[in-house]
Amino acid sequence: MKIDDLQLKIILDSRQEKTLEVQMASGNYYVKSSAPQGKSRGEKEASFISAEEALEKFQNIKSGLLKKEFSSLKEFDNFLIKLDGTPNKSNLGGNLMLVLSMAFCRLQAKEEKKELYQFLREELIHNFPLLDPVLTDYQPPYFFFNVINGGKHSPFGPNFQEYLIVPQTQNSEESLNLAKIYFAGLKSWFLKNNYPLSYGDEGGLVFPEKDDEKPLAILKEVRKDLLLDDKIKFSLDAAASTFLKKEDDSPVDFYLKIINNYQLLSLEDPFHEDDLENFKKLKSLIKDQCFIIGDDLTVTDANLIEKAITRQAIDGVIIKPSQKGTITETLEAIGLSLKNQLKIIVSHRSGETMDDFIADLSVAANAWGLKSGNITQKEREIKYQRVKKINDIASR
Ligand code: PEP
Ligand code: MG
């Protein structure tokens, strides 16, 4: 495929911060892609450059990209990786590389007259042929809705970053309805108890007290009042690198207590990202009672995921293309995870755009979950809606 036209624009994300949008055209086809941005970024993520710097870098590489014929996504991404020439993408920036890589996928899918999720699934099967049966036996992802925002995603409140509800249905419409009902119930609880309604970065409520357990107790009470005990489970993203150091006393006992008291479905990043030993310890203590998920620990990097697998430290991984910077490498991380029976949760970032690429990625990867914040923000709801639409197409 030859790219005929390529433009880079600065747009605003859900936090009203500058981010990148690429427009790419080939023949009769034209696509757009935009980059999300994280706030609780793992140390080992691909580098991130400012939107202004990205515009400059883009001008330097644009003509090279327009001149060349690319026969595959892999060839396109490898060309970018070579142009960048650094181990952590600090030259071109992971964000600039990612918008280009995503746009190329979309364009290639259009040329091949495929939906994006079909194109991505075929790329995965092409690279990991043994995964064909796993990937073609499609089960829609569970939705992980963030209802209380803490940590870096909130001006004050608990250390833990995300208190999530997970409706226990793979029917997208039913899941979205349950989320609506539950969130309305949670807002009523806040009002009844004289807590103000204010919202964090991912559209969940801000809980004003510095207490990590109380939000879970509230979530449980609301679920009981709504008679939804058998329909909704809870998950947590502690994002512990934002408040724990590797050498800090380990809160293993606290985690054991809350896993039991609230029957947590999954627990993401319970320890500092360099503290693999405690991930392993907690996982061995809880067996399969609750799934331990790596995010800052593994940053969508096949080598780090492999290391965590070898140490038996995790049951699943968060997949964020923006942590790695190209879709080819993101698919490598997914393939390796699936080969090792890890659960996959494809995730948005705390600064989001109207790009719904990750919805197609979650379907292509047959992910266990899609984590896209709260439906109160259009940038997040659009991803859940895209999965719903794909499911509607698939069931026709
Ligand atoms: C996360 O930690 O899962 C997350 C979405 O946060 P951020 O995008 O701020 O890194
Ligand atoms: Mg996380």
pLDDT digits (tens, 9 = 90+) for 224-264: 999 999 999 999 999 999 999 888 888 999 999 999 999 99
What is the H or E stretch that residue 261 is in? helix 252-262
Per-domain boundaries in the chain: 5-113, 130-394
Q: Which CATH class is domain 130-394?
A: alpha beta
Q: List the residue whose alpha carbon is closest to atom 4 of ligand 1.
A: 349
Cα–Cα distance measured from residue 94 to residue 75, given in angstroms and rounded to the nearest whole number: 17
CA atoms within 13 A on the CB side of 198: 12
* Predicted local distance difference test score (pLDDT) of residue 329: 98
Cα–Cα distance measured from residue 91 to residue 82, given in angstroms and rounded to the nearest whole number: 11
Which ligand approaches the C-alpha of residue 268 most closely? 2
Q: Which residues surround ligand 2, an ion (CB under 5 A)?
A: 237, 239, 295
The pTM of this model reads: 0.98
In CATH, the number for domain 5-113 is 3.30.390.10
Cα–Cα distance measured from residue 392 to residue 390, given in angstroms and rounded to the nearest whole number: 5
**Which of 95, 300, 317, 350 best tests ligand 1's pocket when mutated (most atoms within 8 Å of CB)?**
350
CA 27 to ligand 2 center in whole angstroms: 39
Cα–Cα distance measured from residue 236 to residue 213, given in angstroms and rounded to the nearest whole number: 11
Q: Report the residue count for the chain.
A: 396
CA 260 to ligand 2 center in whole angstroms: 21
Q: Which of 16-20, 103-107, 133-137, 219-223 shows the lowest mean pLDDT across its residues? A: 133-137
Q: Residue 353, exposed/middle/buried by CB under 10 A (0-12, 13-18, 19+)?
A: buried
Q: Sheet harboring 29-34: ordered strands across?
A: 5-12, 18-26, 29-34
Dihedral in degrees, nearest 10, Cα atoms 288, 291, 296, 302: 70
The atom of ligand 1 lying closest to the CA of 351 is 8
pLDDT digits (tens, 9 = 90+) for 1-18: 999 999 999 999 999 999
82's CB contacts (< 8 A; 6+ apart) are none
Average pLDDT of 65-72? 95
Residue 148 contacts residue 163 (beta carbons within 8 Å): yes
- Residue 347 CB less than 6 A away from ligand 1: yes
139's CB contacts (< 8 A; 6+ apart) are 170, 366
